[in-house]
């Protein structure tokens, strides 16, 4: 049984707490949020004690490992603190929105020798994971093309969120840059991205994008296509496919139930899920399972800080490419 201290008690913190409860080897023993009322309420609902200071998590003997689900700008500081407290860490992406600070943190963490798992939960979505496994096992032969589509419901974040998000590629694209590396088992060489602000005036005003397409050339020759948007009025639409010399595999679009019916002479199927949890909710449990395996040293192929840095680099390159209308080599980046 591993005793978990959770830092950050927002929406994603709740998701993790519920999944910890479902796992036979994990127990939530302490939780921390800056807001006292929040941490008290959280502890009542999910069990464990409410820590009054970070040190009541980081230095506590009843905490074997730390999960960081706090706001993005505190990740690097918390990550380093946990590592220095010699506790293994699960950390939501990104290490730091600023890539050089992220690299520095990574280096400092590395020196502690403490093991860190980054929360790239999409690697654990059942059908996405099946693609990676099948490709790795040679099921599609020589991999040629990977396609990743992810379009989220049209609920525009606030102007403040958008301004602080680092732009579309850093905020939303980074999950798919990680998947492109994960599935192709290779590093990016060249990035060519096109972005557009076609729907939301505020996005255009901020010089950001609400629609984007990206081509990646991987070192091993694989070509990747990604498209993203946050303007799908019909729901959460995500799919991936991999194509190679011996076959093809797809993690399909998913309706939110398995009903088909007619309405007059029309034919209908269950609509797309209204939110991301209905589409990839299972991955949030499986990433927690992987964390338990990681703590038990049964699993070593979890996403690392280096994976996080690599995905961020691609996001940087994509941002540059889209703004300058040119192909960017990943080794151009500082």
Q: Which of residues 189-228 bind a copy of itself (CB under 8 A)?
A: 190, 192, 194, 196, 198-199, 211-215, 217, 221-225, 227
Q: Are 321 and 191 a contacting pair, CB within 8 Å?
A: yes
Number of residues that bind a copy of itself (CB under 8 A): 72
d(CA 43, CA 15): 14
Applying CB under 8 A, among 108, 147, 165, 304 the residue interacting with a copy of itself is 147
Binding mask 66-105 for a copy of itself (x = CB under 8 A): ----------------------------------------
Count of residues making up the chain: 334
DSSP states along 296-318: TTS---S--HHHHHHHHHHHHHH
* Binding mask of the shown chain, residues 260 to 289, with x at each position contacting a copy of itself by CB under 8 A: xxxxxxxxxxxxx-x---------------
User: Binding of a copy of itself at residue 229 (CB under 8 A)?
Assistant: yes
Q: Nearest distance from residue 217's CB to a copy of itself, in Å? A: 5
Residue 138 binding a copy of itself, by CB under 8 A: no
- Chosen residue from 2, 169, 176, 243 binding a copy of itself by CB under 8 A: 243
Whether the Cβ atoms of residue 116 and residue 83 lie closer than 8 Å to each other: yes
Cα–Cα distance, 301 to 279 (Å, whole number): 24
Could you tell me if 189 and 217 are in contact, meaning their C-beta atoms sit under 8 angstroms apart? yes
- CB of residue 202 to a copy of itself, shortest distance in Å: 15
The nearer residue to a copy of itself, 77 or 274, going by C-beta atoms, is 274
Q: Is 69 exposed, middle or buried (0-12, 13-18, 19+ CB in 10 A)?
A: buried
Q: Alpha carbon of 233 to those of 70, 143, 236: distances in Å?
A: 29, 33, 9
Cα dihedral 158, 312, 132, 226, rounded to 10, equals 60
CA angle 120, 58, 105 (to 5 degrees): 50
- Asked whether position 165 contacts a copy of itself by CB under 8 A, the answer is no
Choose between 130 and 276: whose C-beta lies nearer to a copy of itself: 130
Scanning residues 12 to 31, which ones bind a copy of itself (CB under 8 A)?
21
Nearer to a copy of itself, 252 or 333 (CB): 252
Choice from 74, 104, 108, 231 touching a copy of itself (CB under 8 A): 231
From the CB of 91, what's the least distance to a copy of itself, in Å? Answer: 27
Please report how close the Cβ of residue 57 comes to a copy of itself at its closest, in angstroms.
25
Exposure string for 228-254, b = 16+ CB within 10 A, e = fewer: bbbbeeebbbbbbbbbbeeeebebeeb
Q: Which of 123, 151, 170, 172 binds a copy of itself (CB under 8 A)?
A: 151
Contact with a copy of itself (CB under 8 A) among 13, 94, 166, 235: 235
149 binds a copy of itself (CB under 8 A): yes
Q: Which residues between 37 and 66 bind a copy of itself (CB under 8 A)? A: none
237-244 and 49-50 as β-strands: parallel, antiparallel, unpaired?
unpaired
Residues 309-328 that bind a copy of itself (CB under 8 A): 325-327
**Count of beta carbons in the 10 Å neighbourhood of residue 33:** 22
């Amino acid at each position: 049984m591993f005793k978990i201290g959770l830092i950050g008690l927002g929406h994603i913190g709740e998701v993790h707490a519920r999944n910890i409860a479902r796992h036979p080897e994990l127990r939530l023993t302490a939780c921390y949020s800056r807001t006292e009322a929040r941490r008290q309420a959280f502890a009542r609902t999910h069990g464990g004690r409410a820590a009054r200071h970070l040190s009541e998590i980081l230095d506590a003997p009843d905490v074997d490992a730390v999960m960081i689900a706090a706001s993005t700008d505190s990740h690097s500081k918390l990550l380093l603190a946990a590592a220095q407290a010699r506790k293994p860490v699960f950390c939501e992406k990104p290490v730091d929105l600023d890539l050089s600070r992220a690299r520095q943190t990574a280096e400092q963490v590395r020196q502690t020798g403490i093991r860190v798992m980054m929360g790239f939960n999409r690697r654990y979505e059942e059908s996405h994971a099946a693609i990676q496994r099948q490709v790795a096992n040679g099921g599609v032969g020589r991999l040629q093309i990977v396609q990743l589509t992810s379009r989220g419901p049209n609920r525009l974040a606030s102007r403040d969120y958008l301004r602080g998000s680092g732009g579309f590629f850093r905020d939303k694209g980074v999950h798919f840059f990680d998947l492109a590396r994960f599935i192709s088992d290779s590093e990016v060489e060249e990035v060519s991205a096109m972005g557009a602000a076609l729907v939301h005036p505020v996005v255009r005003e901020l010089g950001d994008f609400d629609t984007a397409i990206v081509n990646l050339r991987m070192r091993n020759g694989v070509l990747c296509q990604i498209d993203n948007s946050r303007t799908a009025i019909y729901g959460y639409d995500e799919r991936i496919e991999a194509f190679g010399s011996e076959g093809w595999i797809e993690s399909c679009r998913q309706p939110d139930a398995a009903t088909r019916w007619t309405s007059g002479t029309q034919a209908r199927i269950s609509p797309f899920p209204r939110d991301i949890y209905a589409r990839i909710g299972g991955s949030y449990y499986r990433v927690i399972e992987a964390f338990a395996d990681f703590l038990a040293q049964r699993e070593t192929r979890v996403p690392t800080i280096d994976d996080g840095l690599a995905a961020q680099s691609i996001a940087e390159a994509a941002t540059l490419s889209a703004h300058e209308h040119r192909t960017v080599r990943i080794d151009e980046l500082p």
